[in-house]
Chains A and B, each alone.
Chain A
Amino acid sequence: MSQFILYQGKAKELSYFPYIIEFANYKIQNIQLNSHEIKASEGIKICLIVDGKFDWNIDGQPFLLYPNDVSLTCSWQTIGSSKGAYDIGALMWITIKPLHFEANGELVLGEWSSISETDQRVIGKILSLNKKPVLTRLKACQQIFQNIEVELFAKELGYRTRVNHLIDELLITAVRHLSKQDNLRRDFPQTFLKLEQTLRENLSYPWSVEEMAGLVGLGTTAFSEKVKAVSGFSPLNYLINIRISEAIKLLSRKDLSLTDIALETGFYSSQHFSSTFKKLTGYTPREFRKNTD
């Protein structure tokens, strides 16, 4: 099929899919000035290199992209060609606008998606913590892109359902690849150390096992087993360790209330904080604070 760029509001093919902002199959035969300037992407943009070699700048970092590489960027990230113009080659991309998506990872895709609420949270979290926006050698994406294109233009029976499903699948494929590529199984202790750093940087967040496992590209069963083998703790108990360790540090800062500390270290309430703290240390946070007076 020939090349095209469909824009929401202009292309009738997208009229049943208001959440798709752009969908394109685009070939570049000669370089046009300013055709690809660096700017923020709208919503979630997934872009597949079909042919050629592209010199891009994503979120201030340079990347060289080759066929089957995929860029994955969110609204708070910038993307564009380093020289401001597309290099010669071929691309496919889609930009979708979730109902709700914040830089802290809160994600609600919308009614069209059949991804469960929990999984959407995990996907949002992974995307928000993503520091490597290029997925290398992700062959599976091209087929999905092509299927979306066929469905959109052919409009056969049930195509609306199919397109929605295909976009769910595209997202899942891309995010799974993302969480796996940085976390090779060969070195779980290293992966676990990186995860610990992420948890410490986002300690106020109510992490679930699904989210932690998702971040390092493992299923929850394998993840829990590996954490137990490495640390001696279940993932949630390990997390409590970190929360309490951090809380002890904050207790020496007199300007913080117990509620502040509880929320900052990820407890639901000061009661939840106090009871967990006492169970572990033998002291209530108040008593502990007095001891260091």
Chain B
Amino acid sequence: MDCIITIDINTSAVKIHAFDMNGRMLSWKKGSYPTFHPQPDYSEQDPEQIFITTLYILKNLLNEYIHPKKYKVTAICFSSSMHSVLAVDKMGTPLGNAIIWADNRGIKEAEALKKHPKGENIFNTTGTPIHPMSPIVKITWLKNHDQVRFAQTYKFISLKEYVIKQLTGEYVVDHSIASSTGLFDIHQLKWNQDSLDFAGITADRLSEPLSVFNTNLFLKKEYCFTLGLPAKTTLIIGASDGCLATLGAGIVGSGKATITIGSSGAVRVAGKEVLKDKKNRFFNYLLAEGYYVSGGPTNNGGVVFEWFARQFGDFSEDLDFEDVVNDLFKEAAQVKAGAEGLLFLPYLLGERAPLWNANARGMYFGLNISHERKHFVRATLEGILFEMYSIGKILETHRNFDSIYINGAYASLPLWTQILTDMYGKTIHVNDHHDSVALGTALLGLTQLGVYSNLEAAASTVKSVETYQPNPKNHEIYMKYFEIFERLSHKLKDEFEQIVALQQGI
């Protein structure tokens, strides 16, 4: 029997799945690797460790499942997280670790680009919000602060490109990953000269951009041999995880949106056109040629609830972290919508969409003497979800959507889904798949292989297993609180700045 393998190189782990030709998942494995923070603002990963972990996991999946069951691998399709930058020398040897999306060292460079006469144009051409996460900003940082590395660099590539270079010997990047660099013209599908000028590089210091469906890539024969794969096994270059999660949620087409909450979060829509927002609050990334995924990312998803659990959870019985988190959910469920007047701003990590304010900070508001711990639990959860609602609300001014599909480790927890449903006042669907990125990657690969006629057809095979209906009463309550939430978030701009100045002075 035939199968397709998907490789997703995400922030904390590589996940490798096998699917049959109908998009049914057969088996999967993951292997994790760490993020290093040599300085508070820095987030880095070891490219060799990521490559070795990928190989190791791929080999295990093949040897323990695919080969014993006599599956034939028709193709391997790739996904990865966006925005990483790795400098390599002429030999392809990494110059230091990769700088990943969460790295904030380029705050000043991002501000400079925003104020630059061509800044707005660069944003509109490339679709990538101007932010320290963006590779154009990171490369500019290297130019300004690490001239030796900058001069030695033969190419600036992403972690996905590094893994593919190792496996095939080629420097190539798919249009989807390229569209998240701030360096790529998402309309004309080529490197953008204004961006290159700003970063101080020429196009030959980047990989060759290719269609996400590109298959003109082959595993080196040594890998075919050690992995037990036939010579010339097809590699499909694939796309970025955010775009593939959207495809995997089945929302290609109008009237649909998807909400993802893992440790961070995003609200996304997908369509044939870019989304234009006067305040530049949303990204436009390419899922495939002619398909744009637009939306807003938040820094403050599950990671904020984990922070809360660590500080205030009850560990007295030597419980494991997951148990403590679950106990907190039970506690939150006992409090009515609105947490009896306690409101939480979740901006512990600053915020991207919709505020785009790195200085935003968290706050509990409305505390009175009758509030108990359980109210804090509920308010924390609601604050995180108000933020997901605030992105969707602005997105809705550009695109109508009636159905919302949900994915990610946190969003699909029943309590979370119900609160979101009540906030939005719309039906929310939970998809029948534990990993939308893997499914999206498989659907893209299967479309390339001709199983589906196009991405819409592929997306239509995604089924939801559970539907949540809004409670109108709660919706009304949430809307009243949201008004305060939104006003506070904007009103406190000056105070956020002042408190951050004090925090940074410590």
A residues adjacent to B (C-beta < 8 A) = 184-188, 192-193, 196, 230-233, 237, 241-242, 244-246, 248-249, 252, 278-283, 287, 292-293
Q: Contact check, A186 vs B321: say whether CB atoms are below 8 A apart.
A: yes
Chain B residues, Cβ within 8 Å of A241 = 31, 33, 49, 52-53, 56
B154 to chain A, nearest CB (A): 12
| Residue in chain B with minimal CB distance to A194 | B34
Which of B136-144, B312-320, B346-354 lies at the binding interface?
B312-320
| Residue in chain A with minimal CB distance to B92 | A292
| Residue in chain A with minimal CB distance to B89 | A252
Taken together as a complex, chains A and B put the C-alpha atoms of A123 and B223 apart, in Å, by 42
Q: Is B310 an interface residue (CB 8 A)?
A: yes
Q: Contact check, A283 vs B310: say whether CB atoms are below 8 A apart.
A: no
B27 to chain A, nearest CB (A): 13
Chain A residues, Cβ within 8 Å of B427 = none
Taken together as a complex, chains A and B put the C-alpha atoms of A246 and B49 apart, in Å, by 8
Within 8 A of A (CB), among B28-53: 29-34, 46, 48-49, 51-53
B292 to chain A, nearest CB (A): 34
For this complex, 6 residue pairs linking A to B, each with C-beta atoms less than 8 Å apart, are A185-B319, A186-B310, A241-B53, A245-B46, A245-B51, A280-B55
Taken together as a complex, chains A and B put the C-alpha atoms of A188 and B320 apart, in Å, by 9
Taken together as a complex, chains A and B put the C-alpha atoms of A244 and B53 apart, in Å, by 10
Further 8 A-B residue pairs, CB within 8 A, beyond A185-B320, A232-B31, A281-B52: A233-B56, A241-B52, A241-B53, A241-B56, A249-B94, A252-B91, A281-B226, A282-B222
How many of chain B's residues have a CB under 8 angstroms from any CB in A? 35
Given contacts A281-B55, A282-B223, A293-B91, contact A249 B48 (CB under 8 A): yes
Q: Contact check, B324 vs A186: say whether CB atoms are below 8 A apart.
A: yes
A250 to chain B, nearest CB (A): 10
Q: How many A-B residue pairs have CB under 8 A?
A: 75
Taken together as a complex, chains A and B put the C-alpha atoms of A283 and B220 apart, in Å, by 11
B residues adjacent to A (C-beta < 8 A) = 13, 29-34, 46, 48-49, 51-53, 55-57, 59, 91-94, 220, 222-223, 225-227, 310, 313, 315, 318-321, 324
Q: Contact check, B225 vs A282: say whether CB atoms are below 8 A apart.
A: yes
Chain B residues, Cβ within 8 Å of A283 = 222
Chain B residues, Cβ within 8 Å of A280 = 52, 55-56, 59
Q: Contact check, B49 vs A185: say whether CB atoms are below 8 A apart.
A: no
SS of A interface (majority): helix
Q: Contact check, A245 vs B49: say whether CB atoms are below 8 A apart.
A: yes
Given contacts A237-B56, A249-B48, contact A231 B91 (CB under 8 A): no
Chain A to chain B: the 6 pairs with minimum beta-carbon distance, closest first: A282-B226, A245-B48, A245-B49, A282-B222, A232-B31, A231-B32
A237 to chain B, nearest CB (A): 7
Taken together as a complex, chains A and B put the C-alpha atoms of A233 and B55 apart, in Å, by 13
Chain B residues, Cβ within 8 Å of A192 = 34
A200 to chain B, nearest CB (A): 9
Q: Contact check, A188 vs B93: say whether CB atoms are below 8 A apart.
A: no
Which of A185, A278, A293 is within 8 Å of B318, CB to CB? A185
Which of B30, B34, B55, B94 is within 8 Å of A232, CB to CB? B30
B365 to chain A, nearest CB (A): 28
Taken together as a complex, chains A and B put the C-alpha atoms of A196 and B46 apart, in Å, by 12
Q: Contact check, B315 vs A232: say whether CB atoms are below 8 A apart.
A: no
Taken together as a complex, chains A and B put the C-alpha atoms of A248 and B93 apart, in Å, by 9
| Residue in chain B with minimal CB distance to A278 | B226
Taken together as a complex, chains A and B put the C-alpha atoms of A232 and B320 apart, in Å, by 18
Chain A residues, Cβ within 8 Å of B51 = 245, 248
Chain A residues, Cβ within 8 Å of B59 = 280
Q: Contact check, A184 vs B31: say whether CB atoms are below 8 A apart.
A: no
Chain A residues, Cβ within 8 Å of B223 = 282
| Residue in chain B with minimal CB distance to A190 | B310
Q: Contact check, B226 vs A186: say whether CB atoms are below 8 A apart.
A: no
Taken together as a complex, chains A and B put the C-alpha atoms of A188 and B319 apart, in Å, by 12
Taken together as a complex, chains A and B put the C-alpha atoms of A293 and B57 apart, in Å, by 28
Taken together as a complex, chains A and B put the C-alpha atoms of A232 and B13 apart, in Å, by 9
Which of A187, A233, A292 is within 8 Å of B31, CB to CB? A233
| Residue in chain A with minimal CB distance to B93 | A252
Taken together as a complex, chains A and B put the C-alpha atoms of A237 and B31 apart, in Å, by 11
A221 to chain B, nearest CB (A): 15
Q: Contact check, B32 vs A292: say whether CB atoms are below 8 A apart.
A: no
| Residue in chain B with minimal CB distance to A248 | B48
Taken together as a complex, chains A and B put the C-alpha atoms of A244 and B223 apart, in Å, by 16
Chain B residues, Cβ within 8 Å of A287 = 222
Taken together as a complex, chains A and B put the C-alpha atoms of A249 and B89 apart, in Å, by 13
| Residue in chain B with minimal CB distance to A249 | B48
| Residue in chain B with minimal CB distance to A188 | B321
Taken together as a complex, chains A and B put the C-alpha atoms of A288 and B402 apart, in Å, by 54
Taken together as a complex, chains A and B put the C-alpha atoms of A184 and B57 apart, in Å, by 29
A206 to chain B, nearest CB (A): 20
| Residue in chain B with minimal CB distance to A293 | B91
Chain A residues, Cβ within 8 Å of B91 = 252, 292-293
Q: Tell me which of A184, A196, A231 has the highest count of chain B C-beta atoms within 10 A of its own C-beta.
A: A231
A202 to chain B, nearest CB (A): 16
Taken together as a complex, chains A and B put the C-alpha atoms of A278 and B222 apart, in Å, by 10
Chain A residues, Cβ within 8 Å of B52 = 241, 244-245, 248, 280-281
Taken together as a complex, chains A and B put the C-alpha atoms of A188 and B52 apart, in Å, by 23
Taken together as a complex, chains A and B put the C-alpha atoms of A232 and B223 apart, in Å, by 22
Taken together as a complex, chains A and B put the C-alpha atoms of A187 and B320 apart, in Å, by 8
Taken together as a complex, chains A and B put the C-alpha atoms of A193 and B227 apart, in Å, by 30
| Residue in chain B with minimal CB distance to A226 | B320
Taken together as a complex, chains A and B put the C-alpha atoms of A279 and B53 apart, in Å, by 13
| Residue in chain A with minimal CB distance to B309 | A186
Chain B residues, Cβ within 8 Å of A196 = 34
| Residue in chain A with minimal CB distance to B48 | A245
B484 to chain A, nearest CB (A): 33
| Residue in chain A with minimal CB distance to B91 | A292
Taken together as a complex, chains A and B put the C-alpha atoms of A241 and B29 apart, in Å, by 16
Q: Contact check, A232 vs B29: say whether CB atoms are below 8 A apart.
A: yes
A193 to chain B, nearest CB (A): 5
B17 to chain A, nearest CB (A): 13
Chain A residues, Cβ within 8 Å of B227 = 282
